[in-house]
Amino acid sequence: MKKVVKFGGSSLASAEQFKKVGRIIRKDESRRYVIPSAPGKRTPDDTKVTDMLYSCYSLASMGDEYEEEFEAQLAAIRDRYDAIISGLGLSVCLDDEFKAIRTNFTGKTGRDYAASRGEYLNGILLAAYLGFEFIDAAEVICFDENGNFDGDKTNQILSSRLADAENAVIPGFYGAMPDGKIRTFSRGGSDITGSIAAKAVQADMYENWTDVSGFLIADPRVVKNPKAIDVITYRELRELSYMGATVLHEDAIFPVRKEGIPINIRNTNSPEDKGTLIVEGTCRKPRFVITGIAGKKDFASITVEKAMMNSEVGFCKQVLEVFEENGISIEHMPSGIDTMTIFVHQDEFEEKEQKVIAGIHRRVEPDFLELESDLALIAVVGRGMRATRGTSGRIFSALAHANVNVKMIDQGSSELNIIIGVRNHDFDAAINAIYDIFVNTMI
Ligand code: ASP
C-alpha cells in the first residue's frame, strides 16, 4: 500500500501543527510521499507565508526607497520558519537559504520564484522533522517553455525519481521550466502537486489533509452544522465545485481521476474523522438521496420569447452569438417551447445590458424580452437521485412550504443534478428547506 499525503497551509502553520502532521504520518507507514504547503494562518487574522512572500517581493521590486520595509518583511517571514525550527527542536539553519532568497528577490528573479519559497522552506523543515528525503519540486515538476504544466515529462521524471526513494517530501505548488526558471500553479496549487505525485507512484490513495473533515452536504454559513459527505464521485464533485463548494483545487482532480486513484479529504485537527472519499464510481449506496447542495447568488436572467421559435432554425445560435460578441459567458440556459432564458453573472452583464438587448432585437426580432436580476442558482446534486422517484417533487413541496418562489428548474440529462433558480433573498431559506427534507428528516 502506497499513499501520497498532502498537508495544507493551516496543517503546517506552526510547530504544534507540524507535530500533529508527524503523528499522522508515523501512524501509517504507507504514507510515504509527503507534499507540504507553505505555512498558512495560525489564527483567523494571521497572514499566510505565501502572501507575505508576494508582498515582500513587491517591496523588493519597488527599489531602494522601500529597503527598510523589505528587510522587515523578510525578517517576519524568517521568524515564521525559525519559530517552527525552535518549536520542534530541529538543528536546521536557514542562513544560506535566506541569503539566496534576498539576492534573488533584489535581483528580480520573479514572483513565482518568490511565492514558491514558502513551500520550498517548509519542505526542508518537514523532511528534517520526519527524517525523510527532501526532493526539490524544481527538479521533478516540469513546465514547458510557455509556462504550461508538462504532464508527460513530469510523470516520467517523477516516477523514476520516486522509485528510488522509500520516503520523500516534495514541496507543493511549484516546478520549473526547461531553463530552470521557477513556475507556480495557481493559488492553492499544492493540491495539484499531490495529485501529480499520486499518479507518478501509482498510489493506492491520495490523502489531502486540511482543516475540515471533508466536504459538507451544504455550506455551513447557510445550514447549521451540516453533515459531512462520506463518498462523492468526481462528477458530483465537479457539479458542486462549479457552484462554489471549494475545498480542493479543481485541477487536482484530473491526474488521479484518469488513474482511478481515490482522494481522501481528511482533517489534521481531527484525524480520527474519516473525511470524504472522492472516487470515480461506486456502487455503495449513498446515505441520503442527495450528495450535496451548493449555490451562487447574483445572476441576471434574460428571457427571449417568440412565437414558433422552435421551428426557426438557428434561433438559439443567433441569440447566443449576441452574448459571445459582448464577451459575456453564459451560466445556464433553460428553455421552453417559445421561450429561452439565459442566466448570466449580473456584474458582468450590467454594463453591457443595453447592447445585448439591442443585439437580440436586431438578430431575432423577439415578441418579448424580459430581464430579471438578483437571482440565485442552487444545484442539488446526487447520484442517488437517478434511482429515486419523486426527488424533484420533494424539492418543490419543501420549497413551497418554506414560501420560496421557484423561478426556474432544470434537471441535467445525467439526472445527477437539479438546478433551481430563486431570488437572492430566498437563497438561504431554499437551501435549508432542501437540506431539511433530504437530510434532517432521514436521520
Ligand atoms: N501556498 C500556496 C497558496 O497559498 C499554495 C497552496 O497552499 O496550495 O496558494
Residue of 209, 11, 18, 37 lying closest to 121 (CA atoms): 37
Distance 402 CA to ligand 1 centre (A): 40
Q: Mutate which of 46, 187, 251 to test ligand 1's pocket (most atoms within 8 Å of Cβ)?
A: 187
Higher pLDDT, 92 or 410: 92
Q: Are 149 and 251 in contact (CB under 8 A)?
A: no
Using a pLDDT cut of 90, give the percent of the chain over it. 81
| Confidence at residue 247, expressed as pLDDT on a 0 to 100 scale | 77
Rounded to the nearest angstrom, the distance between the alpha carbon of 116 and the centre of ligand 1 is: 9
Q: Residue whose CA is closest, atom 8 of ligand 1?
A: 188
**Residue 245, pLDDT score:** 67
Q: What is the pLDDT of residue 197?
A: 98
Buried b (16+ CB within 10 A) or exposed e, 25-40: beeeeebbbbbbbbbb
**CA–CA gap between residue 408 and residue 372 (Å, rounded):** 12
**Which residue has its alpha carbon closest to ligand 1 atom 2?**
188
CA 36 to centroid of ligand 1, rounded, Å: 9
Q: What percent of the chain has pLDDT over 70?
A: 99
Mean pLDDT for 314-333 is 93
DSSP string computed for 258-282: HHT--EEEEETTSTTS--EEEES--
Answer whether residue 1 shows pLDDT above 90.
yes
Q: Which of 37, 80, 268 to mutate to test the pocket of ligand 1 (most atoms within 8 A of CB)?
A: 37
Strands, DSSP E only, in 346-443?
A: 368-381, 408-411, 417-423
* pLDDT band at 73; cut points 50, 70, 90: very high
Ligand 1 atom with minimal separation from the 172 CA: 8
Residue 4 confidence (pLDDT): 98
Ligand 1, residues at Cβ distance < 6 Å: 9, 37-38, 48, 50, 118, 172-173, 187-191
103-130 residue pLDDT tens: 999 999 999 999 999 999 999 999 999 9
The rounded distance, in Å, linking the Cα atoms of 389 and 111 is 53
Contact 214, 267 (CB under 8 A): yes
- Rounded to 5 degrees, what angle do the CA atoms 47, 52, 56 make? 155
State the cell numbers at 349.
452583464
- How much is the pLDDT for 163? 95
Is residue 212 a contact partner of residue 225, using CB atoms and an 8 Å limit? no
Could you give the CA distance from residue 260 to residue 232 in angstroms, rounded to a whole number? 14
> Looking at the predicted structure, is the pLDDT value of residue 405 above 80?
yes
Query: Rounded CA gap, 175 and 205, in Å?
Result: 23
- For the CA of 37, the closest atom of ligand 1 is 7
Q: What is the pLDDT of residue 148?
A: 97
Residues forming a β-bridge with 4: 33, 206
Q: Is the pLDDT of residue 412 over 90?
A: no
Each residue's pLDDT tens digit, 372-385: 999 999 999 998 88
C-alpha cell at 435: 437540506
Question: Which class for 104: exposed (0-12), middle (13-18), buried (19 or more C-beta within 10 A)?
Answer: middle
Q: Ligand 1, from 41, 50, 121, 122: best to mutate by most atoms within 8 Å of Cβ?
A: 50
If you measure from the C-alpha of residue 330 to the centroid of ligand 1, how many angstroms do you get, rounded to a whole number?
30
Of 119, 193, 209, which is best to mutate to test ligand 1, by the most ligand atoms within 8 angstroms of its C-beta? 119
**Cα–Cα distance between 315 and 318 in angstroms, integer?**
5
Binning pLDDT at 50, 70 and 90, where does residue 8 land?
very high
Size (the chain), residues: 443
Q: What is the pLDDT of residues 138-167, one digit of tens each?
A: 999 999 999 999 999 999 999 999 998 999
The 10s digit of each residue's pLDDT in 188-241 is: 999 999 999 999 999 999 999 999 889 999 998 999 999 999 999 998 988 888
Span from the CA of 104 to the centroid of ligand 1 (angstroms): 20
Evaluate if residue 414 carries a pLDDT over 80: no
Cα distance between residue 92 and residue 125, in whole Å: 7
For ligand 1, the distance from its centroid to the CA atom of residue 48, given in whole angstroms, is 9
Q: Give which of 373, 370, 371 is closest to 305, Cα–Cα.
A: 370
Q: What is the pLDDT of residues 255-309, one digit of tens each?
A: 999 899 999 999 999 999 999 999 998 888 788 999 999 999 999 999 999 998 8
| C-alpha 103 to ligand 1 mean position (Å) | 23
Predicted pLDDT at 400: 95
Q: Which atom of ligand 1 is nearest to the CA of 186?
A: 9
Residue 441 CA to ligand 1 center (angstroms) comes to: 39
Q: What mean pLDDT is predicted for residues 6-35?
A: 98
How confident is the model at residue 443, as a pLDDT?
66
The three cell numbers of residue 193 are 502537486
- Residue 171 CA to residue 12 CA, distance in Å, equals 12
Q: Work out the average pLDDT over 317-331.
A: 94
Ligand 1 centre and the CA of 13: distance in Å? 12
What's the predicted TM-score (pTM) here? 0.86
